[in-house]
Amino acid sequence: MAGKLTLEGLKAAAEKGEIDTVLVALVDMQGRLMGKRFHVDFFLASGFEETHGCNYLLATDLEMVTVEGFKATSWEAGYGDYTMKPDLSTLRRIPWLEGTALVLCDVLDHHTHEDVPHSPRAVLKRQVARLEAMGMKAMMASELEFFLFRDSFEEASAKGYRGLERIGAYNEDYHIFQTTKEEDVMRAIRNGLNGADIPVENSKGEADAGQEEINVRYADALTMADRHAIIKNGCKEIAWQKGRAVSFMAKWDNQAAGSSAHVHQSLWSLDGKPLFFDPEGEHGMSAMMRRYLAGLLAHAGEITYFLAPYINSYKRFAAGTFAPTKAIWSFDNRTAGYRVCGGDTRAVRAECRVGGADLNPHLAFAALIAAGLDGIENERELEPAFVGDAYHGSGIREIPSTLRDATTALDSSEMLRKAFGDDVIDHYVHAARWEQTEYDRRVTDWEIRRGFERA
């Protein structure tokens, strides 16, 4: 695949003067890349072995606040270092940055060199290991949506993110002409990602003005989660280079559609047999797929935090918008939280439509796999498929509609506590409560507009 590098390949590229910089990054709690820029000579001499980063990187919020109350680190503990261990299988060129390569790191305890359990890559690797012990792997694909603006990030910030101009003026769902006008950015994104060991299938206009979707080929869960994090960072960097802004907020404007990250998932044997496929089953679904899907539904409330981690994430769950509000399954029905796609083929798979574009892919994939595995291990029975408009049906299992409810469900999830470990769940419950508290103490524009004179 174009862009993939080995250490030897990096050495050769450095000798030819093609690469002078290596980005060495971990994936943080928000799914962002955090790390350092190495000179390639230093990276090749010793940096490839390990580097270090402050351990507050996995105990902070979107704004890099040193949040008090995490067990893992604190002022009291002195905010020491983590070891960042490059995973050389993720080494790749970054074609949109001149002379640059990137490697992702595992985050290890500085002293013991054990995985830091709440590090998003470690959380996912733990679930992948459970699958492997059962002779299986999960293949995943996340479809990322985002808005593209005419303004640059700097202009958007200077305007206080008000009165932004979207790249298009009308709903551009599948629209070729409108998206032709956006090719300056989107073609650079497709080709850039493809040259960075991320096989792009397509991009398309989405269901609102200025909304885009990028689809890449499915891959094993860890590879796909890594790619997802690099795609988001790459879209931001490429848009920035073109003097444009993008936003992956789940709901950046009341009037606009939300941006999602639908996750397609299927289980395969380690030697490549599609375990979700049974030609005799309903829609070609195997008994294993039915149990996995039943697990997703049984734990839909508990895993929602990992699909919708911020206050804003819950603003996306609105009826009649293609964003789901109900945790039910259906066959090829976009009003359901979980949809079966690729029926009656080897590609039969479950699509989780709950997550927003703001999710952390490693945590989200891990939570989905854990819920699905619980369904398999407990041989859960799949309820009948939902037919019709799930938005307006009554008595149907709801997706938690607030961060507060999702946090309570997360905190009390025996399934997730067993799968991830108590310390990991406590860590993310604390992050969720912090997010809620930070919001609760703010007075919003809406309150002032509504009440200033009339209250």
Instruction: List contacts with ligand ADP (CB under 6 A).
Output: 139-141, 143, 201, 215-218, 264-266, 341-342, 347, 349
User: In sequence order, which residues have a C-beta less than 8 Å from that of residue 186 and are 6 or more positions away?
Assistant: 148, 179, 203, 212
| Residue 34 or 348 with smaller CB distance to ligand ADP | 348
Query: Which CB sits closer to ligand ADP, 203 or 265?
Result: 265
Closest approach, Cβ 147 to ligand ADP, in A, equals 19
* Closest CB 375 distance from ligand ADP, rounded Å: 17
Of 204 and 430, the one with the shorter C-beta distance to ligand ADP is 204
Q: Considering beta carbons, is residue 218 or 252 the nearer one to ligand ADP?
A: 218
Nearer to ligand ADP, 47 or 342 (CB): 342
* Min dist. Cβ of residue 336 to ligand ADP (A): 13
Residue in 36, 35, 44, 37 with CA at minimum distance from that of residue 13: 44
Nearer to ligand ADP, 38 or 277 (CB): 277
CB 179, min distance to ligand ADP, A? 16
Cα(108)–Cα(24) distance, rounded to whole angstroms?
Answer: 14
User: Measured from the CB atom, is 105 or 216 closer to ligand ADP?
Assistant: 216
Using only C-alpha atoms, what is the Rg of the chain?
22
Q: How far is the CB of 275 from ligand ADP (least distance, A)?
A: 10
Amino acid at 420: F
- For 443, the token pair is 């007075």
Tell me the closest approach of the beta carbon of residue 199 to ligand ADP, in angstroms.
9
Beta carbon of residue 346, minimum distance to ligand ADP (angstroms, whole number) = 7
Least CB distance from residue 237 to ligand ADP, whole Å?
Answer: 22
Give the shortest CB-242-to-ligand ADP separation in angstroms.
Answer: 25
SS3 readout for the chain: CCCECCHHHHHHHHHCCCCCEEEEEEECCCCCEEEEEEEHHHHHHHHCCCEEEEHHHHCECCCCCECCCCCCCCCCCCCCEEEEEECHHHCEECCCCCCEEEEEEEEEECCCCCECCCCHHHHHHHHHHHHHHCCEEEEEEEEEEEEEECCCHHHHHHCCCCCCCECCCCCCCCCHHHHHCCHHHHHHHHHHHHCCCCCEEEEEECCCCCEEEEEECCEEHHHHHHHHHHHHHHHHHHHHHCCCEEECCCCCCCCCCCCEEEEEEEEEECCCCECCECCCCHHHECHHHHHHHHHHHHCHHHHHHHHCCCCHHHHHCCCCCCCCCECCEEECCCCCCEEEECCCCCCCEEEECCCECCCCHHHHHHHHHHHHHHHHHCCCCCCCCCCCCCCCCCCCCECCCCHHHHHHHHHCCHHHHHHHCHHHHHHHHHHHHHHHHHHHCCCCHHHHHHHCCCC
Of 386, 140, 385, the closest CA to residue 282 belongs to 385
Q: Cβ closer to ligand ADP: 62 or 341?
A: 341
In the complex, least distance from residue 277 CB atom to ligand ADP, rounded to whole angstroms: 9
In the complex with ligand ADP, the residue whose CB is nearer, 10 or 200, is 200
Cβ nearer to ligand ADP, comparing 43 with 268 = 268
Residue 140 or 403: which CB sits closer to ligand ADP? Answer: 140
Find the shortest distance in angstroms from Cβ 398 to ligand ADP: 23
CA distance 306 to 368: 9
